């Protein structure tokens, strides 16, 4: 009998999580009317992103430290045309979008799961970034070859198999493009990608420990000598 009650409780818990994923997140804070973009930034940083962070594990979002780093990188290197592969619910796209809004740039982000595409669009709209970020639905390996480049920044966040995504994106990159790949917090993740990129002719790759145990692998082209 005990095992039956345990099984029943576990099934109800799983059903609850699945229903919540399908329906979307409960009670999001609705944005007030903003008098200026600065007021909106303040609300996104102090209220909306912390609310989204409750669901970080459910959606496999990058940690906040990675989001802050990505935004900084976009602004510091004045990126204008960015691509993200692996949107989930739009958490990292919001950080990238905040940076690109400051540089008057745009982000295209690709997600394979239709329910997540809807969730991401809703979250980007709440953050006031729906004019900066376009969410595309589909398998990035099929979608990216059809996109118009060149992209000067790419963020790949699809788990440990990053190399096929880099290869599909490479023909779409500008000469000065930065390719950032999120390294998930499990042992050995991205080892093949790192080895391949460190041996890849014409590319320079390093790992930035943004928030232990996760990291971001950054690659740029080695400039050609005149």
Ligand X SMILES: C[S@@+](CC[C@H](N)C(=O)[O-])C[C@H]1O[C@@H](n2cnc3c(N)ncnc32)[C@H](O)[C@@H]1O
Considering only residues 148-187, where is the footprint of ligand X by CB under 6 A? 157-158
- Could you tell me the smallest distance in angstroms from the CB atom of residue 91 to ligand X? 3
Kindly state whether residue 219 participates in binding ligand X, applying the rule CB under 6 A: no
- Residue 178 has phi, psi (to 5 degrees) of -110, 130
User: What does the alpha-carbon distance between residue 136 and residue 186 come to, in Å, rounded to a whole number?
Assistant: 28
Which CB, 83 or 85, lies closer to ligand X?
Answer: 85
Contact residues for 158 (Cβ-Cβ < 8 A; gap 6+)? 85, 86, 140, 165
- Could you tell me the smallest distance in angstroms from the CB atom of residue 202 to ligand X? 25
User: What does the alpha-carbon distance between residue 191 and residue 162 come to, in Å, rounded to a whole number?
Assistant: 10
Burial class (CB in 10 A: 0-12, 13-18, 19+), 51: middle
Name the segment binding ligand X (CB under 6 A); options: 21-29, 42-50, 87-95, 197-205.
87-95
Considering only residues 107-126, where is the footprint of ligand X by CB under 6 A? 110-113, 116
Pair 181, 200: CB distance under 8 Å: no
Pair 207, 194: CB distance under 8 Å: yes
Considering only residues 48-77, where is the footprint of ligand X by CB under 6 A? 60-62
Which CB, 43 or 95, lies closer to ligand X?
Answer: 95
Kindly state whether residue 129 participates in binding ligand X, applying the rule CB under 6 A: no
Which CB, 110 or 133, lies closer to ligand X?
Answer: 110
Pair 81, 104: CB distance under 8 Å: no
Residue 14 has which token pair?
């799983």
Which CB, 93 or 197, lies closer to ligand X?
Answer: 93
Q: Which residues bind ligand X (CB under 6 A)?
A: 60-62, 85-86, 88, 91-92, 110-113, 116, 139-141, 157-158
């Amino acid at each position: 009998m005990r095992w039956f009650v345990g099984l029943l409780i576990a099934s109800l818990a799983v059903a609850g999580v699945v229903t919540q994923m399908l329906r979307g997140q409960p009670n999001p804070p609705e944005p007030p009317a903003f008098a200026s973009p600065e007021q909106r930034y303040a609300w996104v940083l102090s209220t909306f992103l912390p609310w989204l962070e409750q669901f970080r594990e459910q959606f496999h979002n990058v940690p906040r430290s990675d989001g802050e780093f990505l935004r900084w990188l976009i602004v510091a290197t004045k990126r204008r045309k960015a691509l993200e592969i692996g949107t989930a619910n739009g958490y990292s796209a919001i950080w990238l979008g905040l940076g690109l809004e400051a540089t008057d740039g745009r982000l295209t982000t690709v997600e394979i799961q239709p329910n997540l595409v809807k969730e991401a669009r809703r979250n980007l709209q709440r953050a006031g970034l729906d004019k900066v970020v376009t969410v595309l639905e589909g398998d990035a390996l099929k979608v990216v070859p059809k996109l118009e480049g060149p992209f000067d920044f790419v963020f790949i966040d699809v788990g440990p198999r990053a190399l096929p995504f880099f290869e599909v994106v490479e023909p779409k990159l500008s000469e000065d493009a930065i390719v950032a790949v999120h390294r998930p917090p499990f042992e050995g993740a991205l080892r093949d990608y790192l080895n391949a990129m460190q041996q890849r002719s014409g590319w320079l790759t390093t790992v930035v420990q943004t928030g232990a145990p996760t990291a971001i692998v950054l690659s740029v082209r080695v400039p050609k000598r005149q």
